[in-house]
Amino acid sequence: MPHVPRPVRISVDASVEVVRDAAQRLLGVTPEADGALTGPLPDWADTSTRLRVALRPIGADATEIALEVENPTRVPYFEWLIGWLLRQGERRTLRYHAERLVAEVEKICGAGSVSLKKLLVIRRRGRSMRTADRIRRSFSRLDRFRASASSHL
C-alpha cells in the first residue's frame, strides 16, 4: 500500500491576515488564485519543489495552517532506494518551517497567544509511548512469572 503524504497541520490563535503576512514575510510565499500561498521550499536542494501553505479560519481569531510539499523530489530508477530519505527530509523540513511560522506569529501577537498542535509529532510520540508500555507490561509479566515460579519451588 503506498504511503500518501500528509500535510503538517497546526492551529494558532491569530487572525488569517496576521498569519498570511507572517508567512509571506518569513517563508517567501505568494498568494495564488485559490487562496493558498505557494513558493519555493526554503532550505531545500531541489528548486522545483514548492511549498504550499493553506490557511483556514477557525472561529473569530484562530487559524488552521496546513503546510505541504508540491512537486516533491523524485529520483529516476533509484526512488526505491533513497525515496524514503527524501520523504523523511521533506516532512522534517515542513515541521521546521511550521515551527518557525508559529514563532513568528507569536512574536507579532505577543507571547502566550499562540496554541500549537503538531499532529505528526503527537502521533509519533503516541506510537513510541505505546511501544514503551508494551515493553513495560512484558517485563512486569516476566517478573510475576518469576515470583510465582520461585514461590512454588
Domain co-membership, 113 together with 130: no
Domain co-membership, 104 together with 143: no
- The CA distance from 45 to 24, in Å, is 21
Domain co-membership, 74 together with 130: no
Domain co-membership, 130 together with 113: no
User: Over the stretch 92-119, which tens digit does the pLDDT of each residue have?
Assistant: 999 999 999 988 998 888 755 554 444 3
Contact between 60 and 17 (Cβ < 8 Å)? no
How many domains does the structure of the chain reveal?
2
Domain co-membership, 110 together with 143: no
- The CA distance from 141 to 129, in Å, is 18
Domain co-membership, 74 together with 131: no
Residue 87: what pLDDT? 87
State which amino acid sits at residue 52: R
Return the C-alpha cell found at 51. Answer: 511549498
The CATH number of the domain holding residue 40 is 3.30.530
The domain containing residue 148 runs over which residues? 126-153
Domain co-membership, 38 together with 84: yes
Domain co-membership, 75 together with 52: yes
Domain co-membership, 77 together with 138: no
Domain co-membership, 77 together with 151: no
In a domain, 2, yes or no: no
- The CA distance from 40 to 44, in Å, is 9
- The full length of the chain comes to 153
Across 35-47, average pLDDT: 87
Domain co-membership, 99 together with 151: no
Q: Identify the band that residue 43 occupies on the pLDDT scale cut at 50, 70 and 90.
A: confident
In a domain, 13, yes or no: yes
User: Over the stretch 45-76, which tens digit does the pLDDT of each residue have?
Assistant: 888 889 999 999 998 888 999 999 988 888 88
